[in-house]
Structure 1
């Protein structure tokens, strides 16, 4: 309850849309992205929060290239928004036959679910809509029709896909919601950049590395902003991240002063 009182941002009370992308590090990065997906889904499960998977793009050898899902619980945006940024994994690569240590990266983006009051106008003429067949593990019904939808917002280049519903119409509606969330966040960041320019603070460190998960030569997960650390990476990957979230929320509140 105390931490929730710190969630006073404009969108903090909303549900969250989480996107995870594999970044530098090849197969290890794809595997890491999948571990992070499982970590957040397990965290939601532990709290009894409902989740809905919108889209997962599987990598060729192992893991995933990207995934987008919703955490449908009040304040999940405010709580998870401190997870936004670059996550780094250091370990002996299970994909390297010489057993070398590998560093890989994955990016996490957290968006608030849009509501009807948000007024993000999207002109149909600014959209390219591609329809394609869903791929990857899934029920037969998902894979037999061209029901997956990819939206490209031409002015910004933002691309959103959805392939979890059975009908093309449902997928397009879900993809539109995610696109609106991304445009809302873009607008919020532009406003924040203006505020930072006025304050002369030159921007903040959101986009930089914010957490390291080290499995070799020692075991530790450490948040690089709050200094909060845990010596049991396995528990963290199993969804035990409340300590990181609380430390992150308190840290963010300190930055605002």
Structure 2
């Protein structure tokens, strides 16, 4: 049934009001000013003399421009819809009105997704994110699952044009990965992805079992915010043990012929981080230190809040503490156990289609925070 003129009018005005509210919260003027500044840095002839900084600058510029384009694109679509409705009503064009209603529903969904950003008001929510994935119980299937999750999040980032910087991947002997650590360079990446932290569970017919039995496996996802220079995290050099080793690839193959990979162990806490994405040992050490500081901040904040799951979650990657199930057999389903949100197309999810899960998680977290207040 088509909406009457008054309904269209009210619906469009509501969309415009919501966009106006979002614009204030996101502070698009500040975003545009930062885009202009980053554009000048990108134009500098010596930008790529420091590759790590160049990657950060170009990634940040791309992400910010994407955010602004997303907002202005929706704004333009709302304006176009208002004109489409006006012309259709003047001409009595029922088909155009039906198209307008379909576009209205699409816009409502897109703007609602953007509105979720305004719910990210935590101390570190606006930061970029460092994601760690570890295989858990389930042997080779768990290692394969961990690699599937890494691909899922990197595909999600690619779809949003967010830069991904891989720090370290530890490959399993037969297939998959033991662990991976990577950064997603985008505004609000931490606030957005922090709801993905926890234990993920996969149920499927194992491709590694010659008897074709169903296998349950687990992987843990940890998300911490990237620190800035103003963050007060100091590390005593005497508290850190540095080990260097040769970078490795799948199946034990050597990636570099020199000992350029770096492993840092923070002795007081036992936190260990590695980096092998750069050819230079110094660059790898610098990147590993970024990750180590982020994890120490997460630990510090969790202790201050007296709640282990405050920032990164205390995840064991085993039975009883999973937050999401991915079921490929005997039926097809992905279900979040906290929010109840579920879909029947696991392949799309593994291809990076996780926005609806993230949105549901952010809303669930906000309601939980209200209940605890």
TM-score interval, smaller chain: over 0.9
Measured after TM superposition, the shift of residue 88 of structure 1 is 0.1
Measured after TM superposition, the shift of residue 193 of structure 1 is 1.6
Aligned residue in 2 for 1:202: none
Aligned residue in 1 for 2:278: 165
Segments of 5+ residues of structure 1 without an aligned counterpart are 197-204
Q: Any idea what SS the aligned residue of 2:227 has?
A: coil
Instruction: Answer yes or no: is the 8 Å Cα contact 2:302–2:308 preserved in 1.
Output: no
**Structure 1 or 2: larger strand share?**
1
Measured after TM superposition, the shift of residue 80 of structure 1 is 0.3
1:188-234 Cα shifts (integer Å, max 9, x gaps): 111222699xxxxxxxx874310000000000000000000010000
Q: How does 1:6-45 map onto structure 2 within 5 Å?
A: 6-45=119-158
Q: How does 1:1-257 map onto structure 2 within 5 Å?
A: 1-136=114-249, 142-193=255-306, 207=315, 208-257=321-370
TM-score w.r.t. the length of structure 2 is: 0.64
Q: Any idea what SS the aligned residue of 1:125 has?
A: helix
CA RMSD of aligned residues (A): 1.7
Segments of 5+ residues of structure 2 without an aligned counterpart are 1-113, 316-320
After TM superposition, where is structure 1 displaced by more than 2 Å over at least 4 residues in a row? 205-208
TM-score w.r.t. the length of structure 1 is: 0.93
Structure 1 or 2, whichever has the larger Rg, is 2
Measured after TM superposition, the shift of residue 21 of structure 1 is 0.2
Measured after TM superposition, the shift of residue 90 of structure 1 is 0.3
Q: Any idea what SS the aligned residue of 1:222 has?
A: strand
Alpha-carbon distance between aligned partners in 2 of 1:61 and 1:122, rounded to the nearest angstrom:
37
Alpha-carbon distance between aligned partners in 2 of 1:74 and 1:250, rounded to the nearest angstrom:
19
Alpha-carbon distance between aligned partners in 2 of 1:73 and 1:145, rounded to the nearest angstrom:
32
Instruction: Answer yes or no: is the 8 Å Cα contact 2:308–2:314 preserved in 1.
Output: no
Alpha-carbon distance between aligned partners in 2 of 1:195 and 1:163, rounded to the nearest angstrom:
29
Q: Any idea what SS the aligned residue of 1:115 has?
A: coil
Alignment: residue pair count: 247
